[in-house]
Structure 1
């Protein structure tokens, strides 16, 4: 016997929203709304009396931004709203588009989901047959959603999570916490709140995603819990709020990720310099002679010829004694911030200043902020006081317009006016655990337990707007440690304060793939490890060789032995590290194009190999990854390794970048490695733009463009378009860009390339060099003209 289920009936249809009500109204005006948003996307929303929150901040379909107050949760105007059919079959109500079908059991509103595949409907997901929800509070307080666990289901996602990329038989807390020195294999929770996961069925090969639009603390259980009375199941639990979820059909995993990225908003298109090496350490700004230490960093970059585009200014610059006070310059440590910033800028290094959203109770501006009502408050209408580092403080409330204005004024007056280029939004996990803390909610008070991640999101937005207002035509660059879906509209991020170990190096790769699969593309890791001991020389080299392939490439540290992670930390390793960083500079045009594509097409920058290849063996790869469509990165991750073993995906040939040796896909191979070796494999048919002249610290703007051409061994076609602009302004929106299109057509006798340009931007170069990996016996035609390759297998082509 099954506990009583509440029967529902269809109440009304309004365009693409179908509303159902409790047939006997035993559940206090409980309603369920089904939204048909896209052919491959539907949404289910449960409402008891009224919505807990009438706005959403995470859902911004292909939108650049949304208001501070959020979007109306019932507004579906940004969606395409396709045609659909609906009908009732006895106790079932069916809603279907061309691609996705929901078959709803009206007794308890249990939903079976189907995908259209080969002209038939394939079941892909189903609510649990027994008590799918917590409609009658049998499970106590909170929101529950139980689904069946198919034996062929594999689960991925949830953003920044420790451990393996497959989440089966695990349970995860979804909240935000300052997890310094975390175990990258086991620690949970971490810094980010991303209530989204992907299910892939190994039998049907169909993938889909589920996104819960709820910001309260949650749990995701992927069949770790077992209960004989309910069969195999998985569940989502949220402490408060509404059950409001999106079903996103792939059918491939990469489709699910792209569609979720589209759903949460446009990815920020940051300036090109954000892709350069960024220096950082807590040590310099903690030093009593911080400005001198910072000047020495510039000199060391020059001395060791390490190209550097930015420096992340840790919070020690704000200290009074041993505590940090945001927007407070310590003039004893840094006597002349403006001169310091000017020196950095003259050397082509932008400063990114650390800022925090909590004011300690003895902060010089605390009373001012308290008087203006800028803090999150308790039930007595007084500032809520929470633990912040080793003291007490109050968090600023970014759902208060006065706070937003105050914050923006301070960012501009205390940082940007001094010559600081960008903001590093840090320690913004909002660790407020009281049930009696409230945010202003722009005039409608909200319990903080409903919106903790929202505060970090609005903090980013405020910082973004401050930078935009300060320099209206400069594309802002920002960093944030914490966040939720929507953060990609404003910031670049990283995996927080990791611990120095070989294990962290490995598991941060897996963590990064989890971020990518969850729609967070613009990220990196603290190279060398932030907390713990200093990295040994070999570990530092291998970490740098890994870090150069992520959008954020920062060497950072707060080592327990007071050492500082820098490229020149170990004299015996500096040559290997310089070589890796200069390779990063070489492929920066490729990275920049991937950043642009993520902005306009919602495609990942770094991704699992199985996103690109129809090959079952790639699902076992989680220590190798693709950079874009062409590069397979297989870093050396074992101490003292002399060989690197890996699997090359099938149905294509691969070039070893280091030796130009050609391998057939579908093989397990082992390559010899030295300390300098970065195992990198290029798919046949690749066209990769490069910086074609070595960049040094002194000469960073010597733009020369080349293309690495890796022809198909036999026959094949490929097309690649490179986007070029000034790298920092919004002028590209007014047509100030150039697109260089290369079309390659190979057969056994001829390699033909057609090159064309479009757009108004005046390039800093007039010629390009095409580099082939080896001598070619085939004829090479460029724009219908046969050419001879130089001795280094290259050719220079004029752009017309």
Structure 2
């Protein structure tokens, strides 16, 4: 008799093989679908404008918005002929929304409704609705005129929408006639709805339901956004004469060891695109969480009607085609006019970035995995022994009891509370990983409860979906269901999460969701969520809902007092109001160091301000030079974390010896010196949506030389940073926009508007302060950010051509939400005509107060040309303080002369004036 291997043993071997394959090989293109292997993408790309015409009819004003129906002018065989519903809404700040869906008869409860993405749009958006009072019919179009000469034209036949500023077109929808909407229909005999890819078959029980359309950005020179892709910031054409590229893909996937310079989709998706030119910036957002593919259409693409563009009095335009597998059309048009206006408009719709705790903006140390408590203590001591600050130590999946989340392996971590408390005594925190796959173990309390309550995503047969991830056989919680999200949040209480303390925070990984044995290593599209929603509809938002529920859990844990910190790998529109993200499993290669800049910038301009990339590369072993260069650049990422794969060599900052330990120490300390500046930028982001790390064209929108730059970036409006991306480099070519700039290493002044060849030694990368700015710093080395709370400040003033400068400083308690009730200090520093003044930005009465005893201990002024004097005067008390000309004595080692005011000893929280003349 032949021996039959036990099922459990067979499954275990399959899992081991899958795991080994993932660890041994890099990204394999054949494991993921391309457009030709994706029927709805191939169909949409093959459509001709004359095949998909619609007519808008019965267009009227109802409750202050436009309402009508869309009738297909040509019907494909087998397609339903019922009209579509259409609504156009108008909001303050020049935001326009278009919704198109199938008409649903309320009396017909049998028809399946198409999925509309919940929990993304801000509840307050409805308060900003404009109630249109007048509709004008003009040359076959319904016309609405808004403020500032903005007009919206809804052309009836063929249907299209144009948004114009006077006679100049800004944005148009369906101006190329590529709109197509596959309506749900009954399956007929002979219909083949199943689709197969490799070994997986998608049952597609509701048949084809894809949507496609075109959007034109008129007057645009470049388009940006739609992350996440490891490629240039300025998006390149994917279709056109002699262009045979794949479209940009938005489909959240666990792409193991991804390659750079590819339009392939990675861990997150934000269907928001921005255009920019010297004349105007515009934006477009599609609220849809199904798989999406987007083509950038080059001039001369099949169907391009250049004559029509000439009729609209424009010289430049960029056509795009948007394709989604399912869902509805719920799109927003933003008309700027400038880049920062777009971020304000977009975050009005999807939410402002969350204000993080101060410690989270400092340096984080992680790897897969710190193996036990002794390892944790050794690493912690290593930072102290080498005088390197850090704030957070992370534990990956190996800290758990057999990959059961909310547990500790007590043979390795027998005293988790004591371990966290020892770190907390130094002002440090810990982060543990909690992933969405739940181990299918009848003895595991979480699995037992989730099973009994029916809280898992179901497979096509109605059973709890069973997929493979780190624990082996796993099921996945249905985070679309608010009841389940509430239940999940309760698991983070100190009672439920045994061994956790107030200094413990959370990391959500693998939440695309990653399923090792699933199609494209994710969940099958025909799995079923709450309300009968297919996974295909909600896929790109799954990780966002998981992230949201986890953050709610930490919020509940503190009784609503403390701000949560949760890092997520997967993301969607709206993630910015939940927490931080990073760029995923990069590699220790110079190309990955360089591509981290456009990746972080792309995420920033689409709303996600709290972002970073794994320092040193997750995979592989960086040599000392690459690791040093990565630290020097990453010190300016908004989220600053070192992380590495299980199989990599240990690379804590001191392990490569001198001089590299000193180089890395200096980079980390520079981040800590700049924490007041970064925290002020996080406050700005939380109020305006403008990112911390931003492309040069966001600060210099009229300088065309900046439009395609993505090797360098602005950190706030004051610092320009250019990494070193080549091994053995001795110089870097850096473009400095117009105005004065000061190299931080030397204090040397540059007059911008050109490229400069900057010498680079191993101790630093090119960093410049913009003339006309003031940066607050804290110069005293400490173990962690929490030990810097009462430290004094240094103000670094870099004057412009008229010897003026200004900057801001924001402070609060760094932990709670008391700032929302006015418990903060927000100061503006102004240097003009030889006087430095400090004034409150918000002096309104508030329910709570934040008090600081911190002083200004030093003021450094760069670029000032004044008669040599020996003192400055502090008012209102007419107190004289020492003033000298000499080296700045900042840690960055500035060599050129500067005016230095020592010990003015003025409170940072008060109004004062210091007179240099």
Scaled by the length of structure 2, the TM-score of the pair is: 0.79
Change (3 A) 1:415 1:790: farther
**Does residue 445 of structure 2 align to residue 399 of structure 1?**
no
- Displacement of 1:571 after TM fit? 0.7
Q: Can you give the 5+ residue segments of structure 2 that lack an aligned partner in the other structure?
A: 1-48, 74-79, 105-112, 185-206, 239-246, 307-318, 515-521, 887-899, 911-917
| Residues 434 and 96 of structure 1, relative CA distance in 2, 3 Å threshold | same
Q: Are 1:495 and 1:525, in contact at CA under 8 Å, matched by a contact in 2?
A: yes
Q: Secondary structure at the match of 2:551?
A: helix
In structure 2, do the counterparts of structure 1 residues 667 and 135 end up closer, same or farther at CA, with 3 Å as the change threshold? closer
Aligned counterpart in structure 1 of residue 504 of structure 2, from 395, 408, 421: 421
Secondary structure, aligned partner of 2:492: helix
- Cα distance in structure 2, aligned partners of 1:24 and 1:641: 60
Against the structure 1 CA distance between its residues 402 and 246, is the aligned structure 2 distance closer, same or farther, given a 3 Å change threshold?
closer
- Given candidates 436, 439, 447, the residue that maps to 2:529 is 439
Counterpart Cα distance in 2 of 1:5 and 1:635: 49
- 570-579 vs 163-172, greater mean Cα deviation: 163-172
SS of structure 2 residue aligned to 1:59: coil
Aligned to 1:603: 690
Residue in structure 1 matched with residue 419 of structure 2 by the alignment: 340
- Tell me the residue number matched to 2:338: 252
- The corresponding residue for 1:299 is 381
- Displacement, 1:226? 7.5
Displacement of 1:484 in angstroms is 0.4
Q: How does 1:124-523 map to 2 (within 5 A)?
A: 124-129=170-175, 131-135=177-181, 141-148=209-216, 153-170=221-238, 171-186=247-262, 188-201=264-277, 205-223=279-297, 228-229=302-303, 231=305, 233-284=319-370, 287=371, 290-320=372-402, 324-362=403-441, 364=444, 365-389=446-470, 391-412=472-493, 413-415=495-497, 418-419=500-501, 420-431=503-514, 432-440=522-530, 444-472=531-559, 473-523=561-611
Q: Distance in 2 between matches of 1:355 and 1:694?
A: 33
CA distance in 2, matches of 1:217, 1:13: 33
User: Following the alignment from structure 2 to structure 1, what is the Cα–Cα distance between the partners of residues 509 and 146?
Assistant: 44
Relative distance call for 1:131 and 1:773 in structure 2 (3 A) is closer
1:104 counterpart (138, 141, 154): 154
Q: CA deviation at 1:586?
A: 0.4
- SS state of the match for residue 787, structure 2? coil
Matched-pair contact (CA < 8 Å) for 1:185–1:504: no
Q: Give deviations 1:503-560, integer Å, cap 9, x for gaps.
A: 00000111111111111111111000001x2110000000000111112110110164
Counterpart-to-counterpart distance in 1, 2:628 and 2:133: 56
- Taking the aligned partners of 2:100 and 2:789, their CA distance within structure 1 comes to 58
Deviation larger for 653-662 or 450-459: 450-459
Q: Tell me the secondary structure at the aligned position of residue 341 of structure 1.
A: helix
Moved more, 152-161 or 174-183: 152-161
- The 1:15/1:405 distance shift into structure 2, 3 A limit, reads closer
Question: 2:103: which partner in 1?
Answer: 49
Per-residue deviation at 1:160?
2.3
Distance 1:272 1:390, change over 3 A: closer
2:790 aligned with 1:703, yes or no?
A: yes
Per mean C-alpha deviation after superposition, the further-off stretch among 712-721 and 190-199 is 712-721
> Is the contact made by 1:384 and 1:437 (CA closer than 8 Å) also made in structure 2?
yes
> Does the CA contact (< 8 Å) of 1:374 and 1:402 recur in 2?
no
Give secondary structure in 2 for the equivalent of 1:258.
helix
- Indicate the residue corresponding to 1:796 in structure 2: 903
CA distance in 1, matches of 2:608, 2:836: 35
Gaps of 5+ in 1: 64-75
Cα 1:645–1:306 change in 2 (3 A) is same
Matched with 1:14 is 62
Cα 1:130/1:156, change in 2 over 3 Å: closer
Q: 1:703 to 1:642 in 2, by over 3 A?
A: farther
How far the C-alpha of 1:776 sits from its partner, in A, is 4.6
Indicate the residue corresponding to 1:729 in structure 2.
Answer: 816
Match of 1:621 among 709, 719, 741: 709
Is 2:215 aligned against 1:121?
no
How far the C-alpha of 1:775 sits from its partner, in A, is: 6.6
| Residues 26-105 of structure 1 mapped to structure 2, 5 A cutoff | 27-50=81-104, 52-54=114-116, 56-60=118-122, 77-81=126-130, 85-99=134-148, 100-105=150-155
Aligned 8 A contact 2:162 2:171 in 1: yes
Q: What do residues 625-671 of structure 1 show as CA deviations (whole Å, max 9, x unaligned)?
A: 01111001112221111112211101x11111111111101122112
The answer for the alignment partner of 1:73 in structure 2 is none
Q: Is the 8 A contact 2:404 2:471 kept in 1?
A: no
SS at match of 2:862: coil
Summarize deviations over 1:191-211 as a string: whole Å, max 9, x none: 011011112356xx2221110
Cα-Cα RMSD: 2.7
Output the CA distance in 1 between the equivalents of 2:132 and 2:50: 37
**Residue pair 1:523, 1:550 contacting (<8 A) in 2 also:** yes
- Taking the TM superposition and a 5 Å limit, the aligned residue runs for 1:580-599 are 580-599=667-686
- How far apart are 1:729 and its partner, in Å? 1.5
Cα distance in 2, alignment partners of residues 122 and 24 from structure 1 = 29
Shift in Å at residue 716 of structure 1?
A: 5.8
Deviations 1:704-732 (A, max 9, x none): 33243434344265443322121111222
Deviations 1:421-451 (A, max 9, x none): 21111110024442431111xxx32111111
1:772 aligns with 2:834: no
Larger radius of gyration: 2
Seen in structure 2, the aligned counterparts of structure 1 residues 152 and 476 have a Cα distance that, compared at 3 Å, is closer
Q: CA deviation at 1:480?
A: 0.8
TM-score with structure 1 length normalisation?
0.90
| Aligned counterpart for 1:682 among listed residues 746, 760, 769 | 769
